[in-house]
A and B are shown apart, each in its own frame.
Chain A
Amino acid sequence: MTTLAAYLFIAGLVVMGKGILSFSESSSEKPAGVPEALAVGSAALGYELFLLNFCGLILTRQRFLAVLGLDLGLALAAVRFGSWMVFSRETVAWITKRRPMLSTASIVLLFVAFLTAWMEASALPLYHLDALAHFGFEAKILFYKGTFRTPFFFDKTIVHEGPNYPLLVPYLEAAYYGFIGRLEDGAVRHLFLAWWLAWMALIYRVLRQKLEEDLALPLLTVLGSLPVFFADHPGQAVSGCGDVPFALLWSAAVFGVLRWLAADEHQALWVAALASLGVVFCKPNGLPLVVGLWGLTVIFQPARKRPQTVSVLAAILVLLSPWFWEHSRIPRELIEAPIDWKWSSLLQDLHRIPFLIGGSLREMFQPALWGGFWLFVVFSMAFGHKAERTLQDRLLSSVLVLQLAAYYAFYVISPESVHTVVVWTLTRWLTHLSGPLMVWCGWRWADRYPGR
Protein backbone atom coordinates (compact mmCIF):
# COMPACT_ATOMS: atom_id res chain seq x y z
CA MET A 1 0.00 0.00 0.00
CA THR A 2 2.81 2.42 0.89
CA THR A 3 4.53 1.51 -2.38
CA LEU A 4 1.37 2.40 -4.27
CA ALA A 5 1.28 5.68 -2.33
CA ALA A 6 4.89 6.34 -3.42
CA TYR A 7 3.85 5.98 -7.07
CA LEU A 8 0.82 8.22 -6.54
CA PHE A 9 3.13 10.79 -4.98
CA ILE A 10 5.46 10.57 -8.00
CA ALA A 11 2.47 10.94 -10.35
CA GLY A 12 1.53 14.06 -8.39
CA LEU A 13 5.04 15.48 -8.86
CA VAL A 14 4.79 14.84 -12.62
CA VAL A 15 1.43 16.63 -12.80
CA MET A 16 2.83 19.57 -10.80
CA GLY A 17 5.82 19.80 -13.13
CA LYS A 18 3.57 19.60 -16.15
CA GLY A 19 1.30 22.27 -14.70
CA ILE A 20 4.21 24.67 -14.18
CA LEU A 21 5.59 24.01 -17.66
CA SER A 22 2.18 24.44 -19.29
CA PHE A 23 2.55 28.22 -18.79
CA SER A 24 5.46 28.21 -21.23
CA GLU A 25 3.94 25.78 -23.75
CA SER A 26 3.27 26.95 -27.27
CA SER A 27 1.64 25.09 -30.14
CA SER A 28 4.78 25.37 -32.28
CA GLU A 29 7.05 23.61 -29.76
CA LYS A 30 7.26 19.97 -28.80
CA PRO A 31 5.92 19.80 -25.21
CA ALA A 32 8.23 18.72 -22.39
CA GLY A 33 7.99 15.04 -21.53
CA VAL A 34 7.33 13.17 -18.28
CA PRO A 35 11.06 13.12 -17.26
CA GLU A 36 11.37 16.91 -17.47
CA ALA A 37 8.01 17.30 -15.70
CA LEU A 38 9.18 15.07 -12.84
CA ALA A 39 12.44 17.01 -12.53
CA VAL A 40 10.63 20.36 -12.48
CA GLY A 41 7.84 19.13 -10.17
CA SER A 42 10.36 17.73 -7.68
CA ALA A 43 12.44 20.91 -7.66
CA ALA A 44 9.37 23.13 -7.32
CA LEU A 45 7.69 21.19 -4.51
CA GLY A 46 10.91 20.79 -2.50
CA TYR A 47 11.73 24.49 -2.74
CA GLU A 48 8.13 25.55 -2.06
CA LEU A 49 8.13 23.59 1.21
CA PHE A 50 11.39 25.27 2.17
CA LEU A 51 9.92 28.71 1.40
CA LEU A 52 6.88 27.95 3.57
CA ASN A 53 9.23 27.07 6.43
CA PHE A 54 11.26 30.17 5.66
CA CYS A 55 8.08 32.26 6.08
CA GLY A 56 7.55 30.69 9.48
CA LEU A 57 4.94 28.05 8.63
CA ILE A 58 5.31 24.75 10.51
CA LEU A 59 4.39 21.85 8.24
CA THR A 60 1.99 19.62 10.14
CA ARG A 61 0.44 16.54 8.49
CA GLN A 62 -2.65 18.58 7.52
CA ARG A 63 -0.50 21.33 6.05
CA PHE A 64 1.59 18.84 4.05
CA LEU A 65 -1.67 17.46 2.62
CA ALA A 66 -3.08 20.95 2.03
CA VAL A 67 0.04 22.05 0.10
CA LEU A 68 0.06 18.87 -1.98
CA GLY A 69 -3.68 19.14 -2.67
CA LEU A 70 -3.51 22.82 -3.59
CA ASP A 71 -0.50 22.34 -5.89
CA LEU A 72 -2.12 19.39 -7.57
CA GLY A 73 -5.41 21.23 -8.05
CA LEU A 74 -3.68 24.24 -9.61
CA ALA A 75 -1.54 22.02 -11.82
CA LEU A 76 -4.52 20.00 -13.03
CA ALA A 77 -6.32 23.21 -13.90
CA ALA A 78 -3.33 24.39 -15.92
CA VAL A 79 -2.40 21.18 -17.74
CA ARG A 80 -3.57 20.41 -21.22
CA PHE A 81 -3.93 16.63 -21.02
CA GLY A 82 -4.04 15.95 -24.73
CA SER A 83 -0.43 16.99 -25.13
CA TRP A 84 1.10 14.34 -22.92
CA MET A 85 -0.97 11.20 -22.62
CA VAL A 86 1.55 8.49 -21.68
CA PHE A 87 -0.38 5.65 -23.30
CA SER A 88 -1.08 7.32 -26.61
CA ARG A 89 -1.51 5.36 -29.82
CA GLU A 90 2.14 6.13 -30.73
CA THR A 91 3.36 4.65 -27.43
CA VAL A 92 1.45 1.43 -28.00
CA ALA A 93 2.77 1.26 -31.56
CA TRP A 94 6.32 1.79 -30.28
CA ILE A 95 5.96 -1.08 -27.79
CA THR A 96 4.48 -3.57 -30.24
CA LYS A 97 6.52 -2.85 -33.36
CA ARG A 98 9.04 -5.36 -34.75
CA ARG A 99 12.64 -4.30 -34.30
CA PRO A 100 16.18 -5.64 -34.90
CA MET A 101 17.77 -8.14 -32.54
CA LEU A 102 20.12 -5.57 -30.94
CA SER A 103 17.25 -3.23 -30.04
CA THR A 104 15.15 -6.08 -28.65
CA ALA A 105 18.10 -7.31 -26.57
CA SER A 106 18.63 -3.74 -25.29
CA ILE A 107 14.99 -3.46 -24.21
CA VAL A 108 15.22 -6.82 -22.42
CA LEU A 109 18.43 -5.74 -20.63
CA LEU A 110 16.90 -2.39 -19.63
CA PHE A 111 13.85 -4.22 -18.29
CA VAL A 112 16.13 -6.53 -16.25
CA ALA A 113 17.93 -3.42 -14.93
CA PHE A 114 14.61 -1.85 -13.92
CA LEU A 115 13.45 -5.10 -12.29
CA THR A 116 16.71 -5.31 -10.31
CA ALA A 117 16.34 -1.74 -9.03
CA TRP A 118 12.66 -2.37 -8.25
CA MET A 119 13.52 -5.50 -6.23
CA GLU A 120 16.20 -3.58 -4.33
CA ALA A 121 13.74 -0.80 -3.57
CA SER A 122 11.07 -3.28 -2.46
CA ALA A 123 13.29 -5.54 -0.38
CA LEU A 124 15.13 -3.31 2.09
CA PRO A 125 14.61 0.01 3.86
CA LEU A 126 17.14 2.86 3.60
CA TYR A 127 20.41 1.54 4.99
CA HIS A 128 23.37 3.24 3.30
CA LEU A 129 25.27 5.57 5.59
CA ASP A 130 24.52 8.89 3.84
CA ALA A 131 20.94 7.87 3.10
CA LEU A 132 20.33 7.48 6.85
CA ALA A 133 22.78 9.76 8.64
CA HIS A 134 22.17 12.63 6.29
CA PHE A 135 19.14 12.69 3.96
CA GLY A 136 16.99 10.32 6.04
CA PHE A 137 17.85 12.07 9.31
CA GLU A 138 16.91 15.49 7.90
CA ALA A 139 13.70 14.10 6.38
CA LYS A 140 12.79 12.67 9.80
CA ILE A 141 13.37 16.04 11.46
CA LEU A 142 11.33 17.89 8.81
CA PHE A 143 8.48 15.38 9.06
CA TYR A 144 8.25 15.31 12.86
CA LYS A 145 9.19 18.92 13.63
CA GLY A 146 7.65 20.45 10.49
CA THR A 147 10.53 22.89 9.96
CA PHE A 148 14.30 23.12 9.74
CA ARG A 149 14.24 25.81 12.45
CA THR A 150 15.00 23.39 15.26
CA PRO A 151 18.06 22.76 17.42
CA PHE A 152 18.75 19.72 15.24
CA PHE A 153 19.95 22.16 12.57
CA PHE A 154 21.13 25.12 14.64
CA ASP A 155 22.72 23.57 17.74
CA LYS A 156 26.32 22.84 16.84
CA THR A 157 26.70 20.17 19.51
CA ILE A 158 24.04 17.89 17.99
CA VAL A 159 25.40 15.14 15.75
CA HIS A 160 24.33 16.02 12.23
CA GLU A 161 26.35 15.08 9.17
CA GLY A 162 25.75 18.29 7.22
CA PRO A 163 23.27 20.71 8.81
CA ASN A 164 23.81 23.39 6.16
CA TYR A 165 23.55 20.96 3.24
CA PRO A 166 20.84 21.73 0.62
CA LEU A 167 17.48 20.24 1.58
CA LEU A 168 15.66 19.18 -1.60
CA VAL A 169 15.80 15.41 -1.02
CA PRO A 170 14.89 15.63 2.71
CA TYR A 171 11.91 17.90 1.91
CA LEU A 172 10.62 15.52 -0.77
CA GLU A 173 11.04 12.50 1.52
CA ALA A 174 9.25 14.41 4.30
CA ALA A 175 6.45 15.38 1.88
CA TYR A 176 6.00 11.71 1.01
CA TYR A 177 5.84 10.86 4.75
CA GLY A 178 3.34 13.70 5.15
CA PHE A 179 1.30 12.29 2.26
CA ILE A 180 0.99 8.82 3.82
CA GLY A 181 0.88 10.12 7.39
CA ARG A 182 3.81 8.20 8.86
CA LEU A 183 7.52 7.65 8.49
CA GLU A 184 8.03 4.84 5.99
CA ASP A 185 11.72 4.55 5.12
CA GLY A 186 11.20 1.41 3.04
CA ALA A 187 8.76 2.49 0.35
CA VAL A 188 10.48 5.90 0.11
CA ARG A 189 13.15 4.17 -1.98
CA HIS A 190 10.61 3.89 -4.82
CA LEU A 191 10.86 7.68 -5.19
CA PHE A 192 14.51 7.19 -6.11
CA LEU A 193 13.55 4.42 -8.53
CA ALA A 194 11.20 6.86 -10.28
CA TRP A 195 13.91 9.55 -10.46
CA TRP A 196 16.36 7.03 -11.90
CA LEU A 197 13.81 5.86 -14.50
CA ALA A 198 13.03 9.46 -15.44
CA TRP A 199 16.74 10.16 -15.81
CA MET A 200 17.16 7.19 -18.18
CA ALA A 201 14.08 8.25 -20.16
CA LEU A 202 15.47 11.78 -20.45
CA ILE A 203 18.81 10.51 -21.77
CA TYR A 204 16.93 8.36 -24.31
CA ARG A 205 14.85 11.31 -25.51
CA VAL A 206 17.98 13.39 -26.07
CA LEU A 207 19.85 10.54 -27.78
CA ARG A 208 16.88 10.04 -30.12
CA GLN A 209 17.14 13.64 -31.33
CA LYS A 210 20.20 12.69 -33.37
CA LEU A 211 20.20 8.88 -33.45
CA GLU A 212 17.95 6.16 -34.76
CA GLU A 213 16.32 3.90 -32.20
CA ASP A 214 18.61 0.99 -33.25
CA LEU A 215 21.60 2.91 -31.93
CA ALA A 216 20.00 4.98 -29.14
CA LEU A 217 18.69 1.91 -27.30
CA PRO A 218 22.04 0.06 -27.08
CA LEU A 219 23.74 3.29 -25.95
CA LEU A 220 21.14 3.77 -23.24
CA THR A 221 21.67 0.15 -22.21
CA VAL A 222 25.39 0.83 -21.70
CA LEU A 223 24.43 3.56 -19.22
CA GLY A 224 21.35 1.95 -17.67
CA SER A 225 23.07 -1.33 -16.90
CA LEU A 226 26.10 0.17 -15.13
CA PRO A 227 26.87 -2.11 -12.16
CA VAL A 228 27.14 0.88 -9.79
CA PHE A 229 23.35 1.42 -10.05
CA PHE A 230 22.67 -2.05 -8.65
CA ALA A 231 25.69 -2.79 -6.44
CA ASP A 232 25.61 -2.61 -2.65
CA HIS A 233 27.11 0.89 -2.90
CA PRO A 234 25.87 4.42 -2.05
CA GLY A 235 25.80 5.12 -5.79
CA GLN A 236 23.06 2.50 -6.18
CA ALA A 237 20.00 3.83 -8.04
CA VAL A 238 17.71 3.39 -5.02
CA SER A 239 20.23 3.90 -2.19
CA GLY A 240 18.42 7.00 -0.92
CA CYS A 241 21.43 9.30 -1.37
CA GLY A 242 21.03 12.55 -3.31
CA ASP A 243 23.02 11.53 -6.38
CA VAL A 244 20.25 10.10 -8.57
CA PRO A 245 17.86 13.08 -8.16
CA PHE A 246 20.85 15.38 -8.65
CA ALA A 247 21.81 13.55 -11.86
CA LEU A 248 18.24 13.87 -13.18
CA LEU A 249 18.05 17.59 -12.38
CA TRP A 250 21.53 18.34 -13.71
CA SER A 251 20.84 16.46 -16.94
CA ALA A 252 17.50 18.28 -17.33
CA ALA A 253 19.26 21.63 -16.83
CA VAL A 254 22.05 20.82 -19.32
CA PHE A 255 19.73 19.44 -22.00
CA GLY A 256 17.28 22.31 -21.50
CA VAL A 257 20.08 24.79 -22.14
CA LEU A 258 21.22 22.82 -25.20
CA ARG A 259 17.68 22.88 -26.63
CA TRP A 260 17.40 26.60 -25.92
CA LEU A 261 20.70 27.13 -27.72
CA ALA A 262 19.59 25.15 -30.78
CA ALA A 263 16.14 26.70 -31.11
CA ASP A 264 14.07 29.49 -29.61
CA GLU A 265 12.10 27.12 -27.39
CA HIS A 266 11.00 29.03 -24.32
CA GLN A 267 9.82 25.91 -22.56
CA ALA A 268 13.37 24.52 -22.77
CA LEU A 269 14.59 27.68 -21.03
CA TRP A 270 11.99 27.18 -18.28
CA VAL A 271 12.98 23.54 -17.82
CA ALA A 272 16.65 24.53 -17.62
CA ALA A 273 15.94 27.33 -15.14
CA LEU A 274 13.73 25.33 -12.77
CA ALA A 275 15.98 22.27 -12.96
CA SER A 276 18.95 24.56 -12.18
CA LEU A 277 17.12 25.76 -9.06
CA GLY A 278 16.69 22.11 -8.07
CA VAL A 279 20.36 21.39 -8.77
CA VAL A 280 21.47 24.17 -6.39
CA PHE A 281 18.96 23.07 -3.73
CA CYS A 282 19.92 19.37 -4.04
CA LYS A 283 23.68 19.27 -3.42
CA PRO A 284 26.43 21.81 -2.69
CA ASN A 285 28.07 20.76 -5.98
CA GLY A 286 25.10 22.40 -7.69
CA LEU A 287 25.89 26.10 -7.27
CA PRO A 288 29.29 26.18 -9.05
CA LEU A 289 27.96 23.90 -11.78
CA VAL A 290 24.87 26.02 -12.41
CA VAL A 291 26.85 29.27 -12.49
CA GLY A 292 29.33 27.61 -14.89
CA LEU A 293 26.55 26.19 -17.11
CA TRP A 294 24.76 29.52 -17.50
CA GLY A 295 28.03 31.41 -17.83
CA LEU A 296 29.10 29.14 -20.69
CA THR A 297 25.66 29.48 -22.27
CA VAL A 298 25.98 33.27 -22.27
CA ILE A 299 29.38 32.96 -23.95
CA PHE A 300 28.32 30.43 -26.60
CA GLN A 301 24.89 31.73 -27.57
CA PRO A 302 24.07 34.44 -30.13
CA ALA A 303 24.10 37.97 -28.69
CA ARG A 304 20.33 38.46 -29.23
CA LYS A 305 19.54 35.69 -26.71
CA ARG A 306 21.88 36.93 -24.00
CA PRO A 307 19.50 39.30 -22.20
CA GLN A 308 16.95 36.49 -21.73
CA THR A 309 19.57 34.04 -20.47
CA VAL A 310 21.09 36.57 -18.07
CA SER A 311 17.66 37.49 -16.71
CA VAL A 312 16.86 33.80 -16.15
CA LEU A 313 20.12 33.28 -14.25
CA ALA A 314 19.42 36.40 -12.18
CA ALA A 315 15.87 35.16 -11.46
CA ILE A 316 17.20 31.77 -10.27
CA LEU A 317 19.69 33.46 -7.97
CA VAL A 318 17.07 35.87 -6.57
CA LEU A 319 14.64 33.00 -6.00
CA LEU A 320 17.39 31.11 -4.21
CA SER A 321 18.38 34.03 -2.00
CA PRO A 322 16.26 32.84 1.00
CA TRP A 323 18.15 29.55 0.89
CA PHE A 324 21.53 31.32 0.63
CA TRP A 325 20.58 33.43 3.64
CA GLU A 326 19.49 30.45 5.76
CA HIS A 327 22.50 28.47 4.58
CA SER A 328 24.81 31.17 5.90
CA ARG A 329 23.01 31.16 9.27
CA ILE A 330 23.03 27.39 9.86
CA PRO A 331 26.31 26.47 11.55
CA ARG A 332 28.64 23.93 10.02
CA GLU A 333 29.08 20.60 11.71
CA LEU A 334 31.21 20.94 14.83
CA ILE A 335 33.82 18.38 13.80
CA GLU A 336 33.91 19.22 10.09
CA ALA A 337 37.29 20.53 8.93
CA PRO A 338 36.83 23.76 6.97
CA ILE A 339 38.04 24.03 3.38
CA ASP A 340 40.72 26.65 2.81
CA TRP A 341 39.70 28.46 -0.38
CA LYS A 342 42.87 30.60 -0.70
CA TRP A 343 44.86 30.39 -3.95
CA SER A 344 48.03 29.76 -1.96
CA SER A 345 46.45 26.66 -0.39
CA LEU A 346 45.38 25.42 -3.81
CA LEU A 347 48.94 25.76 -5.09
CA GLN A 348 50.29 24.02 -1.97
CA ASP A 349 47.92 21.10 -2.52
CA LEU A 350 48.78 20.56 -6.18
CA HIS A 351 51.09 17.70 -5.18
CA ARG A 352 47.89 15.68 -4.55
CA ILE A 353 47.05 15.58 -8.27
CA PRO A 354 49.16 12.50 -9.25
CA PHE A 355 47.65 10.55 -6.32
CA LEU A 356 44.18 11.76 -7.32
CA ILE A 357 44.64 10.63 -10.91
CA GLY A 358 45.94 7.23 -9.80
CA GLY A 359 43.10 6.79 -7.30
CA SER A 360 40.52 7.93 -9.86
CA LEU A 361 41.73 5.49 -12.51
CA ARG A 362 41.65 2.63 -10.02
CA GLU A 363 38.06 3.57 -9.06
CA MET A 364 36.88 4.18 -12.64
CA PHE A 365 38.16 0.88 -13.97
CA GLN A 366 36.64 -1.24 -11.23
CA PRO A 367 34.48 -3.67 -13.26
CA ALA A 368 32.18 -4.19 -10.26
CA LEU A 369 31.18 -0.51 -10.40
CA TRP A 370 31.65 0.73 -13.94
CA GLY A 371 31.90 -2.38 -16.13
CA GLY A 372 33.44 -1.24 -19.41
CA PHE A 373 31.85 2.25 -19.38
CA TRP A 374 35.05 4.29 -19.45
CA LEU A 375 36.58 2.06 -22.15
CA PHE A 376 33.41 2.74 -24.14
CA VAL A 377 33.88 6.49 -23.61
CA VAL A 378 37.50 6.31 -24.78
CA PHE A 379 36.47 4.21 -27.78
CA SER A 380 33.67 6.64 -28.69
CA MET A 381 36.09 9.54 -28.42
CA ALA A 382 38.53 7.86 -30.81
CA PHE A 383 35.74 6.62 -33.09
CA GLY A 384 34.11 10.01 -33.45
CA HIS A 385 37.14 12.30 -33.36
CA LYS A 386 36.14 13.70 -36.74
CA ALA A 387 32.59 14.44 -35.62
CA GLU A 388 31.15 17.78 -36.65
CA ARG A 389 31.62 20.39 -33.91
CA THR A 390 28.25 22.12 -33.67
CA LEU A 391 27.50 24.90 -31.21
CA GLN A 392 25.59 22.45 -29.01
CA ASP A 393 28.47 19.99 -29.13
CA ARG A 394 31.00 22.64 -28.13
CA LEU A 395 28.83 23.76 -25.22
CA LEU A 396 28.27 20.19 -24.00
CA SER A 397 32.02 19.44 -24.24
CA SER A 398 32.79 22.61 -22.27
CA VAL A 399 30.21 21.75 -19.60
CA LEU A 400 31.70 18.28 -19.14
CA VAL A 401 35.23 19.70 -18.87
CA LEU A 402 33.98 22.34 -16.42
CA GLN A 403 32.26 19.72 -14.27
CA LEU A 404 35.35 17.50 -14.13
CA ALA A 405 37.58 20.51 -13.40
CA ALA A 406 35.26 21.71 -10.60
CA TYR A 407 35.17 18.28 -8.97
CA TYR A 408 38.93 17.81 -9.16
CA ALA A 409 39.57 21.32 -7.85
CA PHE A 410 37.46 20.36 -4.84
CA TYR A 411 39.41 17.13 -4.42
CA VAL A 412 42.70 19.05 -4.52
CA ILE A 413 41.73 21.48 -1.75
CA SER A 414 39.63 19.07 0.33
CA PRO A 415 40.99 18.72 3.88
CA GLU A 416 40.30 14.97 3.68
CA SER A 417 42.92 12.50 2.45
CA VAL A 418 42.99 11.62 -1.26
CA HIS A 419 41.99 8.04 -0.46
CA THR A 420 38.97 9.18 1.59
CA VAL A 421 37.57 11.60 -1.00
CA VAL A 422 38.09 9.20 -3.88
CA VAL A 423 36.52 6.20 -2.14
CA TRP A 424 33.64 8.17 -0.57
CA THR A 425 32.60 10.41 -3.42
CA LEU A 426 34.27 9.83 -6.79
CA THR A 427 32.03 7.06 -8.12
CA ARG A 428 28.87 8.86 -7.01
CA TRP A 429 30.04 12.17 -8.45
CA LEU A 430 30.97 10.58 -11.75
CA THR A 431 27.42 9.28 -12.07
CA HIS A 432 26.30 12.94 -12.15
CA LEU A 433 28.12 13.48 -15.41
CA SER A 434 27.55 10.02 -16.88
CA GLY A 435 24.22 11.05 -18.46
CA PRO A 436 25.48 14.13 -20.35
CA LEU A 437 28.67 12.17 -21.15
CA MET A 438 26.63 9.36 -22.74
CA VAL A 439 24.83 11.91 -24.91
CA TRP A 440 28.20 13.39 -25.88
CA CYS A 441 29.37 9.87 -26.87
CA GLY A 442 26.10 9.37 -28.76
CA TRP A 443 26.81 12.47 -30.81
CA ARG A 444 30.20 11.00 -31.85
CA TRP A 445 28.30 7.95 -33.14
CA ALA A 446 25.63 10.09 -34.78
CA ASP A 447 28.22 11.50 -37.11
CA ARG A 448 29.07 8.04 -38.46
CA TYR A 449 25.51 6.71 -38.37
CA PRO A 450 23.32 9.75 -38.95
CA GLY A 451 19.73 9.03 -38.08
CA ARG A 452 17.87 12.28 -38.31
Chain B
Amino acid sequence: MWAAGIFFRTRTLDPAARRLLIMRGQYQDALRVNQRVPPEASVWFVSPHTPTDIGYFLFPRRLRWGSPSVSERDAVRRRHPYDWVLTNHSSNPQFDSLELFAPIVQKGS
Protein backbone atom coordinates (compact mmCIF):
# COMPACT_ATOMS: atom_id res chain seq x y z
CA MET B 1 0.00 0.00 0.00
CA TRP B 2 2.86 2.33 0.94
CA ALA B 3 4.62 1.63 -2.36
CA ALA B 4 1.45 2.15 -4.38
CA GLY B 5 0.67 5.40 -2.54
CA ILE B 6 4.15 6.80 -3.16
CA PHE B 7 4.11 5.59 -6.77
CA PHE B 8 0.87 7.34 -7.66
CA ARG B 9 1.83 10.46 -5.72
CA THR B 10 5.18 10.83 -7.51
CA ARG B 11 4.39 9.72 -11.05
CA THR B 12 4.00 13.28 -12.35
CA LEU B 13 6.89 14.80 -10.36
CA ASP B 14 10.37 15.60 -11.67
CA PRO B 15 13.43 14.00 -9.94
CA ALA B 16 14.17 17.03 -7.73
CA ALA B 17 10.56 17.18 -6.50
CA ARG B 18 10.66 13.44 -5.73
CA ARG B 19 13.82 13.95 -3.72
CA LEU B 20 12.20 16.84 -1.82
CA LEU B 21 9.14 14.73 -1.08
CA ILE B 22 11.14 11.99 0.63
CA MET B 23 14.04 14.00 2.15
CA ARG B 24 12.24 17.24 2.96
CA GLY B 25 14.28 19.97 4.68
CA GLN B 26 17.59 18.16 4.47
CA TYR B 27 17.63 18.32 0.69
CA GLN B 28 16.63 21.98 0.72
CA ASP B 29 19.48 22.66 3.16
CA ALA B 30 21.89 20.88 0.81
CA LEU B 31 20.66 22.87 -2.19
CA ARG B 32 21.11 26.10 -0.22
CA VAL B 33 24.71 25.16 0.65
CA ASN B 34 25.41 24.25 -2.99
CA GLN B 35 24.12 27.63 -4.18
CA ARG B 36 26.52 29.53 -1.89
CA VAL B 37 29.66 27.39 -1.85
CA PRO B 38 31.78 27.16 -5.03
CA PRO B 39 32.35 23.60 -6.34
CA GLU B 40 36.11 23.54 -5.65
CA ALA B 41 35.80 24.68 -2.03
CA SER B 42 36.38 22.79 1.21
CA VAL B 43 33.64 22.75 3.82
CA TRP B 44 34.53 21.79 7.40
CA PHE B 45 31.74 19.81 9.02
CA VAL B 46 31.02 20.35 12.71
CA SER B 47 28.53 17.72 13.76
CA PRO B 48 27.88 15.46 16.76
CA HIS B 49 26.51 12.78 14.49
CA THR B 50 28.02 10.44 11.96
CA PRO B 51 27.58 9.07 9.34
CA THR B 52 25.88 11.63 7.16
CA ASP B 53 24.74 11.70 3.55
CA ILE B 54 25.20 15.45 3.18
CA GLY B 55 28.55 14.79 1.47
CA TYR B 56 26.65 13.10 -1.39
CA PHE B 57 24.73 16.26 -2.20
CA LEU B 58 27.69 18.59 -1.70
CA PHE B 59 30.03 16.70 -4.08
CA PRO B 60 32.38 17.88 -5.67
CA ARG B 61 32.80 20.24 -2.71
CA ARG B 62 35.07 18.56 -0.16
CA LEU B 63 33.21 18.01 3.08
CA ARG B 64 35.84 17.59 5.81
CA TRP B 65 35.62 16.53 9.45
CA GLY B 66 35.91 19.62 11.61
CA SER B 67 34.82 18.57 15.06
CA PRO B 68 32.15 16.46 16.76
CA SER B 69 31.41 19.32 19.16
CA VAL B 70 29.28 22.23 17.97
CA SER B 71 30.83 24.41 20.69
CA GLU B 72 34.14 24.22 18.77
CA ARG B 73 32.64 25.83 15.70
CA ASP B 74 34.48 29.14 16.12
CA ALA B 75 37.77 27.37 16.79
CA VAL B 76 37.34 25.39 13.56
CA ARG B 77 36.62 28.60 11.65
CA ARG B 78 39.77 30.21 13.04
CA ARG B 79 41.84 27.11 12.18
CA HIS B 80 40.63 27.21 8.55
CA PRO B 81 40.03 30.90 7.84
CA TYR B 82 39.85 30.43 4.04
CA ASP B 83 37.27 27.64 4.15
CA TRP B 84 33.55 27.31 4.80
CA VAL B 85 32.18 25.74 7.97
CA LEU B 86 28.93 23.77 8.15
CA THR B 87 27.36 22.89 11.49
CA ASN B 88 24.72 20.30 12.19
CA HIS B 89 22.72 20.66 15.38
CA SER B 90 20.56 17.57 14.96
CA SER B 91 21.26 14.09 16.27
CA ASN B 92 19.43 12.51 13.33
CA PRO B 93 21.86 11.84 10.47
CA GLN B 94 19.24 12.23 7.75
CA PHE B 95 17.27 15.21 9.00
CA ASP B 96 19.98 17.69 9.78
CA SER B 97 19.47 21.28 10.72
CA LEU B 98 22.42 22.83 8.94
CA GLU B 99 23.98 26.22 9.41
CA LEU B 100 26.60 27.52 6.97
CA PHE B 101 29.38 29.97 7.86
CA ALA B 102 31.38 31.80 5.18
CA PRO B 103 35.22 31.90 5.31
CA ILE B 104 36.60 34.45 7.77
CA VAL B 105 39.07 35.58 5.12
CA GLN B 106 37.74 35.80 1.56
CA LYS B 107 40.20 34.55 -1.07
CA GLY B 108 41.75 37.45 -2.99
CA SER B 109 41.04 39.96 -0.22
Interface residues of chain A, those whose CB is within 8 Å of chain B, are: 116-117, 119-120, 122-125, 127, 129, 132-134, 136-137, 140-141, 144, 151-152, 155, 157-161, 186, 230, 232, 334-335
Q: How far is the CA of A122 from the CA of B13 in the complex (A)?
A: 12
Q: Which residue of B lies closest to A160 (CB)?
A: B55
12 further contact pairs, Cβ within 8 A, besides A133-B93, A159-B63:
A122-B7, A123-B6, A123-B10, A124-B19, A125-B18, A125-B19, A133-B55, A137-B59, A140-B56, A157-B65, A159-B50, A186-B18
Q: Which of A122, A124, A137 has the most CB of B within 10 A?
A: A124
**A129-B22 CB under 8 A given contacts A123-B6, A335-B65:** no
What chain A residues lie within 8 Å of B7 (beta carbons)?
119-120, 122-123
Q: Which residue of A lies closest to B16 (CB)?
A: A125
Q: Mind listing 16 A-B residue pairs with CB under 8 Å? A: A119-B6, A120-B3, A120-B6, A124-B10, A129-B94, A133-B52, A137-B55, A151-B62, A155-B64, A157-B64, A158-B62, A159-B45, A159-B52, A159-B55, A334-B65, A335-B68
Q: Which residue of A lies closest to B66 (CB)?
A: A157
Residue B11 interfacial (CB < 8 Å): yes
Q: Which residue of B lies closest to A161 (CB)?
A: B51
Q: Which residue of A lies closest to B4 (CB)?
A: A119
The answer, among B4, B10, B53, for a CB contact under 8 Å with A132, is: B53
Tell me the residues in window 34-81 of chain B with beta carbons closer than 8 Å to chain A beta carbons: 45, 50-56, 59-60, 62-65, 68
Q: How far is the CA of A157 from the CA of B79 in the complex (A)?
A: 14
Interface residues of chain B, those whose CB is within 8 Å of chain A, are: 2-4, 6-7, 9-11, 15, 18-19, 21-23, 45, 50-56, 59-60, 62-65, 68, 93-94
Q: Which residue of A lies closest to B11 (CB)?
A: A123
* B84 CB to nearest A CB, Å: 13
What chain B residues lie within 8 Å of A132 (beta carbons)?
53, 56
Q: How far is the CA of A356 from the CA of B45 in the complex (A)?
A: 33
Q: How far is the CA of A230 from the CA of B53 in the complex (A)?
A: 22
Cβ contact within 8 Å between A133 and B19: no
* B11 CB to nearest A CB, Å: 7
Cβ contact within 8 Å between A124 and B55: no
Q: How far is the CA of A161 from the CA of B51 in the complex (A)?
A: 6
Q: Which residue of B lies closest to A117 (CB)?
A: B3
Q: Which residue of B lies closest to A116 (CB)?
A: B3
Cβ contact within 8 Å between B3 and A137: no
What chain B residues lie within 8 Å of A133 (beta carbons)?
51-53, 55-56, 93
What chain A residues lie within 8 Å of B22 (beta carbons)?
124-125, 127
Cβ contact within 8 Å between B93 and A127: no
What chain B residues lie within 8 Å of A116 (beta carbons)?
3-4
* B91 CB to nearest A CB, Å: 13
* B52 CB to nearest A CB, Å: 6
Cβ contact within 8 Å between B2 and A232: yes
* A235 CB to nearest B CB, Å: 15
Q: Which of B23, B51, B59 has the most CB of A within 10 A?
A: B51
Cβ contact within 8 Å between A137 and B53: yes
**A125-B3 CB under 8 A given contacts A137-B53, A151-B62:** no
The answer, among B4, B60, B64, B93, for a CB contact under 8 Å with A144, is: B60
What chain B residues lie within 8 Å of A152 (beta carbons)?
59, 62
Cβ contact within 8 Å between B59 and A141: yes
Q: How far is the CA of A125 from the CA of B10 in the complex (A)?
A: 11
Q: Which residue of A lies closest to B15 (CB)?
A: A186
**A158-B18 CB under 8 A given contacts A123-B10, A133-B52:** no
What chain B residues lie within 8 Å of A230 (beta carbons)?
2-3
Q: How far is the CA of A119 from the CA of B5 in the complex (A)?
A: 9
The answer, among B18, B64, B68, B93, for a CB contact under 8 Å with A124, is: B18
* B73 CB to nearest A CB, Å: 16
